[in-house]
Amino acid sequence: MFYRTHVLVEMTSSSVAFGAAQVKEALEREIERVGLKNEVKVLETGSFGASLPSPFVVIYPDNVIYAPLRVQDVRRVVEEHLLKGRVVRELMLAGGLEWKTSEFAFPFPLAKETRVVLRNSGFIDPLNIEDYIARDGYMALAKVLTEMTPQEVIEVIKRSNLLGRGGAGFPTGLKWEFTYKAEGQEKYVVCNADEGEPGTFKDRLILEGDPHSILEAMAIAGYAVGAREGYIYVRAEYPQSIRHLEEAIRQAGEYGFLGENILGSQFSFWVKIRKGAGAYVCGEETALLESIEGKRGEPRVKPPYPPQKGLWGKPTVINNVETLANIPPIILRGPEWFKSIGTPTCPGTKVFTLTGNVNNLGLIEVPMGITLRELIFEIGGGVRGGHGLKLVQTGGPSGGTMTPDLLDVPMTFDTLPKYNSALGSGALTVVDDTHCIVDVVKSFGEFFLHESCGKCTPCRIGNKRIVEILEKISEGKGTLDHLEELLHLGRNMKMTAFCGLGQAAPNPLLRCLEFFREEFETHVKEKVCPAGTCQLKSLQRTVR
Amino acid sequence: MEESLYREIEEIIEKYREEETPLLCVLQEVQEKFHYLPRNVLGYIAKKMNVPSSTVYGVATFYSFFETNPVGEYVIRVCKSTPCHVQGAFNVLQALKRELGLKEGETSKDGKFTLEVTSCLGVCGVAPAMMINDVTYGNLNDERVREILALYRR
């Protein structure tokens, strides 16, 4: 059926929290009431981008944005705009932005935004495979199956220098090559969608907004490494991602992009979803494999690495959602195109999620190498309430702590470690100067205490002791010895913890102890909290 | 436990017979049915799947979404990770405690609500946030908490 107008409603977990589902329902009800049901179609789409008001509705092809559109205003939009063709100016997005589509670029005021990973998010109905196909969906898979050998595919990915976007930044092409070369008939592709790093929600928006891009990339990976089966491990906290994936897998099967003899080739590939059950540690690749195998999600000894011995002991390639979303465009447009974005040693884009005390919360995809200053002050609109910037936690608690002196460092996988920081998952948690450093570090500590799997002692006991000491400090019972003990604990955990998570757990603590030494000392020497947000605040008042 | 419940568990196990290592899937589906995983149910699953009961119990107690004690009809999970923390998650938790008369980990006497704290829910763009069963709520404050609870109290 042909529709003259499409109404696109952004439907992500965040917009649903703002009532997008009710707005969509109201739109459908009103459209039916005025008799436009056969002319106007309401579609759900993924995220339109950072810091946009919600619920966000686009009338297409008119290119008019109504945002935030409230349920009580839906009737007016339907009667005026859709029925009578008169734009309701006062309900339009402030600033009257024009919505244009052009390939891989999104000309919002966010001039720096470059969309590769989020190329379809917000433009297509994720529940309709034809929308994906219309935007070159499954073309890369077709190209790979008809024109390329597995070695050629691996060569292209290697030449693109795509680095794993889950946080570690390991070259994806090498992972594929190791898995390809590993001995064994049965091999697996696993998509790590256990996005648990606090402050990160990029994978959720990709899965909700463009699930087919992940299925296509997994099939390409399967062809390259010689696997017939793929698993997507999605965290339990993402029910909508799971629903969209289930539907996408069903449709891809129906259209012959998954299953037996894909596109008439000799290649067959199936994808299954495994749902997590609320364990942060399962984002660690070997813990994730244990979890798929129905066990407690405790990390394995490495080596052997998953490309040698992965799922059920078979060679396995594990890629993050964002990494996979880069694969189809690289295949279609070539490694040189990919390398023209970002920096020479760290090409491509990165999706950053802006969270915490920043004016514009949300996600943004920008070329690698952007600085924190641009991200927070230009795109993020600065620190909320005009406060000063205290710190930015990059890549979640296990990433790095960036202090205001590091605002101009280019954000890439290779530069940040030089500053004892890490790009990690791309989460940016902005903390303003009204917050007490002890309280902030304690919040990181409590996270690791809660999420430690308990397998090794440094992590299990170390995090417990860190939180206990920080509690003492914020109760006014801290001493200078406590600060030394924290340093000692942190350094030991870094050296002796079993997996990457335990080793990363003390990072924020160590960095903050160094940079905010004075504030810690004020807490233990003078029993006063300069910021006044930890429990010492009340103590401070009674003393005075 | 009633005979019919055992049959339902068997059906779930049967459904995943073709899958390799389906223990997690089975536990998830059984919990969906019974809201929690009582010890005798875990034992029964172990026997039927031919897995040591220590393994089944170990898995059920490892993951935070599995409940081995009875929980309320609505499980409220409040995020207290740093992005929510610096946006006032503490006040949201206080408001929930006050409104529900519950502490963390407790279930109301009428069996309606269980209050839990959790790590990041991945909706930091609308922090502070919480989940009630599988619905996410964001931009919380005292007033929103009261409004949302009213929806579930009806």
Chain A residues within 8 A of B120 when measuring between CB atoms: 196-200, 396, 447
Instruction: Report the candidate in A319, A329, A421 with the shortest Cα–Cα distance to residue A114.
Output: A329
Within 440-479 of A, beta carbons closer than 8 Å to B belong to 440, 443-444, 446-447, 450-451, 453
Which residues touch A39 (CB under 8 Å, ≥6 apart)? A3, A4, A5
Yes or no: say if A80 and A74 are a contact pair by the CB < 8 Å rule.
no
Domain membership of residue A460 (yes or no) is yes
Domain membership of residue A96 (yes or no) is no
Shared-domain flag, residues A135 and A252: yes
Distance CA A446, CA B104 (A): 15
Going residue by residue through chain A, which has 544 residues, state the pLDDT in tens, using 9 for 90 and above.
Answer: 577 788 889 888 778 878 888 999 999 999 988 888 888 888 888 777 655 778 888 887 777 888 889 898 999 999 888 888 788 888 887 654 443 332 223 334 456 788 899 999 878 889 999 999 999 999 999 999 999 999 999 999 999 999 999 988 999 999 999 999 999 999 999 999 999 999 999 999 899 999 999 999 999 999 999 999 999 999 998 988 999 999 999 999 999 999 999 999 999 999 999 999 999 999 999 999 999 999 999 999 999 999 999 999 999 999 999 999 999 999 999 999 999 999 999 999 999 999 999 988 888 899 999 999 999 998 888 999 999 999 999 999 988 899 999 999 999 999 999 988 889 999 999 999 999 999 999 999 999 999 999 999 999 999 999 999 999 999 999 999 999 999 999 999 999 999 988 999 999 999 999 999 999 999 999 999 998 877 776 554 444 4
Cβ-Cβ contacts under 8 Å between A and B: the total is 149
Output the CA–CA distances (angstroms, integers) from residue A483 to A479, A527, A534, in the order listed. Answer: 7, 14, 17
pLDDT at B91: 94
Distance CA A323, CA A163 (A): 8
Of B66, B85, B122, the CB nearest to A201: B122
Question: Considering A298, A314, A338, which residue would you say is the last residue of a domain?
Answer: A338
Mean pLDDT for B22-32 is 95
Which residues touch B17 (CB under 8 Å, ≥6 apart)? none
Distance CA A26, CA A78 (A): 10
Where would I find the H helices in A182-334? 202-209, 211-225, 239-254, 285-292, 321-333
Shared-domain flag, residues A456 and A534: yes
Domain membership of residue A440 (yes or no) is no
Domain membership of residue A325 (yes or no) is yes
β-strand pairing of A57-60 with A5-10: antiparallel
CA dihedral A77, A78, A84, A87 (to 10 degrees): 20
Of B21, B86, B87, the CB nearest to A294: B21
Of B63, B81, B121, the CB nearest to A447: B81
Q: What is the CATH classification number for the domain harbouring A81?
A: 3.40.30.10
Min Cα separation B1/chain A (Å):
25
Instruction: Report the candidate in A436, A420, A493, A415 with the shortest Cα–Cα distance to residue A460.
Output: A493
Distance CA B123, CA A238 (A): 10
Determine which of A10, A207, A237 to mutate to test the interface with B (most B C-beta atoms within 10 Å): A237
Question: Considering A91, A116, A147, which residue would you say is the last residue of a domain?
Answer: A91
Number of domains in chain A: 4
Q: Give, as one character, the DSSP assignment of residue A264.
A: G
Distance CA B51, CA B68 (A): 18
Chain B residues within 8 A of A198 when measuring between CB atoms: 81-83, 119-120, 124
Residue A174: how many other CB atoms lie within 10 Å: 15
pLDDT at A101: 32
Domain membership of residue A185 (yes or no) is yes
Looking up tokens 């989020």, which residue turns up? Answer: A118
Shared-domain flag, residues A508 and A428: no
Shared-domain flag, residues A453 and A538: yes
Shared-domain flag, residues A399 and A462: no
pLDDT at A67: 86
Shared-domain flag, residues A397 and A463: no
Shared-domain flag, residues A257 and A295: yes
Token readout for A39 is 């002319």
Shared-domain flag, residues A331 and A383: no
Domain membership of residue A104 (yes or no) is no
Domain membership of residue A117 (yes or no) is no
Instruction: Report the candidate in A121, A85, A86, A126 with the shortest Cα–Cα distance to residue A101.
Output: A121
Distance CA A197, CA A394 (A): 10
Chain B residues within 8 A of A299 when measuring between CB atoms: none
pLDDT at A146: 96
Question: Considering A338, A368, A384, which residue would you say is the last residue of a domain?
Answer: A338
Shared-domain flag, residues A492 and A533: yes
CA dihedral A83, A89, A95, A96 (to 10 degrees): 30
pLDDT at A544: 40
Min Cα separation B61/chain A (Å):
9
- Answer whether A294 sits within 8 Å of B23, measured CB to CB: yes
Domain membership of residue A102 (yes or no) is no
Q: Give, as one character, the DSSP assignment of residue A406.
A: G
Chain A residues within 8 A of B86 when measuring between CB atoms: 356-357, 429, 431-432, 435, 440, 443
First to last CA, chain B: 30
β-strand pairing of A270-275 with A229-234: parallel
Q: Which residue has the higher pLDDT, B21 or A379?
A: B21
CA dihedral A429, A212, A67, B88 (to 10 degrees): -30
Min Cα separation B154/chain A (Å):
19
| Cis-peptide into B128, omega within 30 deg | yes
What domain range is A182 assigned to? 129-338
Chain B residues within 8 A of A446 when measuring between CB atoms: 80
Contact status of A235 with chain B (Cβ, < 8 Å): yes
Distance CA A389, CA A236 (A): 34
Q: In what order do the strands lie in the sheet with A427-432?
A: A362-367, A349-356, A427-432, A389-394, A400-402
- Answer whether B63 sits within 8 Å of A312, measured CB to CB: no
Give me the half-sphere count of Cα atoms (radius 13 Å) on the Cβ side of residue A256. Answer: 8
What are φ and ψ of residue A16, in 5° steps? -65, -35
Output the CA–CA distances (angstroms, integers) from residue B68 to A350, A414, B36, B56, B114, in the order listed. Answer: 40, 45, 6, 11, 13
Beta strands in A301-441 (DSSP E): 316-320, 349-356, 362-367, 389-394, 400-402, 427-432
Residue B106: how many other CB atoms lie within 10 Å: 15
Q: What is the CATH classification number for the domain harbouring A426?
A: 3.10.20.600
Closest-CA residue of chain A to B85: A443
pLDDT at A64: 81
Q: In what order do the strands lie in the sheet with A5-10?
A: A40-45, A5-10, A57-60, A64-66
Closest-CA residue of chain B to A18: B138
Looking up tokens 């030394």, which residue turns up? Answer: A484
Shared-domain flag, residues A136 and A239: yes
Shared-domain flag, residues A158 and A298: yes
- Strand, helix or coil for residue B61: helix
What are φ and ψ of residue A365, in 5° steps? -105, 120
Chain B residues within 8 A of A537 when measuring between CB atoms: none
Q: What is the CATH classification number for the domain harbouring A247?
A: 3.40.50.11540
Shared-domain flag, residues A84 and A211: no
Min Cα separation A79/chain B (Å):
30
